[in-house]
Amino acid sequence: MNSAKMTILSTIQSARKERRALLAVLVDPDKEDAYLHLLTCLEGVDLVFVGGSTGSRVEECLSLLRAHTKAPLVLFPGNVAQFTPKADALLFLSLLNSRLPQVLIEPHLQVAMEVKQSGIETIPMGYILIDGHRKSAVEIVANCHPLANQDLSAIVSHAVAGQLLGKHLIYLEAGSGANLPVSTEIIHSVRSEIDIPLIVGGGICTPEQMEQAFLAGADVVVIGNHFESHPEQIPIFVERKADICR
């Protein structure tokens, strides 16, 4: 990334300071039939996250996205095979509610030198899986149990621990295709205890749910599955986001 430009992290941090809501579209590079329909609907989107729990067809996906959007392309990888320096930034994530070494550190070790040598902007992010009332791909692949919605204390403690460990972002995730998005109570509780930007995703299907997440304290809302099925609704969400006064 050209050092004269704002980094992706500084863009998110500036939006937080200015109380500007950011909308990110999550694109799974293995779902080609789905994301091809997204390509002409991305105007006004702030960020495009690229990644999935399995698969590695990332570079082809990035090339197509580059041709259709000026939004920054940010890797949100589910495994080391999804790393490529051709994105604008990499979310170097730690699954904070996992206790398995093969999830906590092994993938990072496999790709650390390649990431460092690539020079890609790398953003340390604490990722917290919340029960979305549907078994998610992350839960299956990482053998990770989501935190219960009612256990606010544990969720907040995980987020605070992530910040104290030096993470620059915290991501509250209900899981792909979740039946229940992260509640406004959870978002507000976490927002009240951390100072770094907060990302929320999973199960958000309406502009009203997106707005509620922003008003509760989310700095970035991520939507994937819903837009795969309804790409034509992206402009509606973009317009609603623009109207939000936080």
Q: What is the pLDDT of residues 171-194, one digit of tens each?
A: 999 977 778 999 999 999 999 999
- Give the model confidence (pLDDT) of 114-173 as tens digits: 999 999 999 999 999 998 666 666 665 666 778 999 999 999 999 999 999 999 999 999
Q: Give yes or no for residue 53 having a pLDDT over 80.
A: no
For the domain made up of 20-243, the CATH class stated in words is alpha beta
How much is the pLDDT for 222? 97
How much is the pLDDT for 4? 46
As given in the structure block, the two tokens for residue 104 are 């906590």
How much is the pLDDT for 141? 61
CA 9, 15, 21, 25: dihedral to nearest 10 degrees? -30
- Give the model confidence (pLDDT) of 72-90 as tens digits: 999 998 888 899 999 999 9
28: amino acid identity, one letter: D
Kindly state the percentage of the chain with pLDDT values over 90: 72
For the chain, domain boundaries:
20-243
Q: Give yes or no for residue 103 having a pLDDT over 80.
A: no
As given in the structure block, the two tokens for residue 137 are 């791909």
